[in-house]
């Protein structure tokens, strides 16, 4: 097999110092089963740089207090860091203002918030919700729950064998009945980057609002919500080098104003009497209860870290890994790559003839290689490609080409065991 044994680098030199970046991530020097960890499960969740870990530690050891409630100095400082992160997120997404940024637990909660606050308020029986064929369960199930409550209908944009959505079908599905479109920017199961800007324009031409599931996009490419013109954009901190339990919902100001709050409680109100409550202005209207303060602050550090490297650099490095990985894996006999769109994020889903993905996962793990095996919370996508599951290697800017060679060697060993 030519590609994995050649000494000539096929990856173009990268404009940043990989080894220095890798040294920022304590987890990357761990061993698994006695082998150096090769972490290729980045689409599930990313590792954390020391800057994030240290920032959270500092908050807990030196700055800890609640936000927005107490008058003392510490609380004031915590509030500053907490609200300051909102500004940083707004910059990261190129949102007009920090008022557009709502803190959530993650992508899943962000979608549920829109389903509840917009769908629950404005959708009626017979209205249609449009999603893509390869959505994550997080962008399917909440809509189905809404449909069960109010009699709306879920419609699905079909996809080609490559994993690309059928745009002509999409246009046909945009009708007077369509009240919202909710589509992933990048497929976590197949890696497809969907032409989301074009899809948003098509929906807007008919006055239909558009929610972007950006879970697999925000950590890996420049996102400009004003240029996309999406009505909402959601992502999770933990896939973007940040902590778990924190995510972001961007919403256009008028949309957020029109929507119902999601959870009720403290911090989301202006005034409360037993007769009537008036809600706080956006974004706080959507943030009931004591928030995940440390995680918000940690996310701020993560976005600062990513911006420090540069999203263009990150995208370029990951694209080089995708190209190299695709070349090396495609050359392995019996290996089928599922998801072959021309524009892809650094995710390679594959199956091997005669070897179940679970067995691939276990045998790769024995070699220290962490991948995901399963349906990737996208069972309808698996059904579309007539497989029960796939193995999935997903790369991050901190991965190296040599790790892809380790992956390929481990796959070949796996095939040997099973033949």
Partner 1 sequence: MSSATNELYQQVILDHNKNPRNFKALDHPTCMCEGHNPLCGDHVTVFVNLEDETLKEITFTGDGCSICKASASLMTTFLKGKSRTDAKVIFDEFHKMVKGELNVETTPHHLGRLTVFQNVSNYPVRVKCASLAWHAMNSALDRVTVTSTE
Ligand X SMILES: Cc1ncc(COP(=O)(O)O)c(C=O)c1O
The residues binding ligand X (CB under 6 A) are 106-108, 136, 138-139, 184, 188, 213, 215-216, 236, 377
Residue 377 is among the residues annotated as catalytic for this protein = yes
Q: How far apart are CA 145 and CA 236, in angstroms?
A: 22
Sequence-separated (6 or more) residues with CB below 8 Å from residue 93: 101, 218, 223, 224, 225, 233, 248, 250
Site mask for partner 1 (CB under 8 A), range 387-416, x = bound: -xx-----------------------x--x
Helices 73-93 and 293-309: angle between axes, nearest 10 degrees: 40
Q: How far is the CB of 356 from partner 1 (least distance, A)?
A: 4
Q: How far apart are CA 107 and CA 52, in angstroms?
A: 20
Q: Is 135 in the site for partner 1 (CB under 8 A)?
A: no
Q: Cβ atoms within 10 A of the Cβ of 172, count?
A: 10
Stretch that binds partner 1, among 62-70, 244-252, 310-318, 381-389 (CB under 8 A): 381-389
Binds partner 1 by CB under 8 A, chosen from 363, 406, 408, 411: 363
Q: Is 368 in the site for partner 1 (CB under 8 A)?
A: no
Q: How far apart are CA 40 and CA 231, in angstroms?
A: 32
Q: Is 319 in the site for partner 1 (CB under 8 A)?
A: no
Q: Is 339 in the site for partner 1 (CB under 8 A)?
A: no
Find out whether 340 and 162 touch, Cβ atoms under 8 Å: yes
Q: How far is the CB of 215 from ligand X (least distance, A)?
A: 3
> Active-site residue among 159, 241, 377, 386?
377
Q: How far is the CB of 124 from ligand X (least distance, A)?
A: 26
Greatest CA separation found in the chain?
75
Q: How far is the CB of 388 from partner 1 (least distance, A)?
A: 4
Beta carbon nearer to ligand X, 131 or 404: 131
Q: How far is the CB of 244 from ligand X (least distance, A)?
A: 8
3-state secondary structure of 158: coil
3-state secondary structure of 152: coil
Find out whether 47 and 39 touch, Cβ atoms under 8 Å: yes
Binds partner 1 by CB under 8 A, chosen from 94, 327, 379, 380: 379
Binds partner 1 by CB under 8 A, chosen from 45, 244, 313, 366: 366
Q: Chain-centre distance of CA 85, in angstroms?
A: 19
Q: What angle do CA 290, 295, 301 make, to 5 degrees?
A: 140
Q: Which residues belong to the active site?
A: 377
Binding site for partner 1 (CB under 8 A): 354-359, 362-363, 366-367, 373-375, 379, 382, 388-389, 413, 416-418
């Amino acid at each position: 097999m030519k590609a994995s044994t050649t000494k000539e680098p096929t990856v173009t030199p990268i404009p940043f110092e990989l080894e220095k970046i890798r040294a920022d991530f304590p987890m990357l020097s761990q061993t698994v089963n006695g082998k150096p960890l090769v972490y290729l499960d980045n689409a599930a969740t990313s590792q954390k740089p020391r800057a994030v870990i240290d920032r959270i530690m500092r908050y807990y050891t030196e700055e800890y207090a609640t936000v927005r409630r107490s008058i003392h100095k510490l609380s004031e400082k915590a509030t500053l860091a907490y609200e300051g992160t909102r500004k940083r997120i707004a910059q990261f997404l190129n949102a007009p203002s920090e008022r557009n940024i709502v803190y959530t637990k993650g992508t899943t909660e962000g979608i549920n918030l829109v389903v509840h606050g917009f769908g629950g308020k404005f959708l009626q029986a017979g209205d249609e919700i449009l999603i893509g064929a390869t959505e994550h369960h997080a962008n399917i199930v909440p809509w189905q729950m809404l449909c069960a409550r109010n009699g709306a209908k879920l419609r699905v944009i079909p996809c080609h064998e490559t994993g690309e959505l059928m745009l002509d079908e999409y246009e046909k599905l945009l009708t007077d009945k369509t009240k919202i479109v909710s589509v992933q920017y990048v497929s976590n199961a197949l890696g497809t980057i969907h032409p989301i800007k074009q899809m948003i324009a098509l929906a807007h031409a008919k006055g239909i609002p558009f929610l972007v599931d950006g879970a697999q996009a925000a950590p890996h490419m420049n996102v400009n919500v004003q240029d996309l013109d999406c009505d909402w954009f959601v992502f999770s901190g933990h896939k973007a080098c940040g902590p778990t339990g924190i995510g972001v919902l961007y919403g256009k100001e008028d949309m957020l104003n029109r929507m119902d709050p999601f959870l009720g409680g403290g911090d989301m109100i202006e005034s409360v009497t037993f007769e009537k409550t008036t809600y706080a202005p956006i974004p706080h209207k959507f943030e009931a209860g004591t928030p995940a303060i440390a995680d918000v602050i940690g996310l701020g550090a993560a976005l600062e870290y990513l911006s420090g490297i540069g999203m263009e650099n990150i995208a370029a490095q990951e694209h080089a890994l995708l190209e190299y990985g695709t070349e090396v894996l495609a050359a392995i006999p019996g290996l089928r790559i599922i998801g072959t769109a021309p524009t892809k994020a650094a995710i390679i889903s594959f199956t091997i003839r005669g070897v179940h993905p679970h067995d691939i996962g276990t045998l790769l793990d024995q070699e220290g290689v962490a991948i995901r095996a399963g349906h990737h919370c996208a069972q309808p996508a698996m059904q579309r490609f007539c497989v029960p599951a796939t193995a999935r290697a997903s790369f991050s800017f901190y991965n190296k080409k040599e790790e892809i060679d380790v992956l390929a060697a481990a796959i070949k060993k796996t095939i040997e065991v099973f033949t």
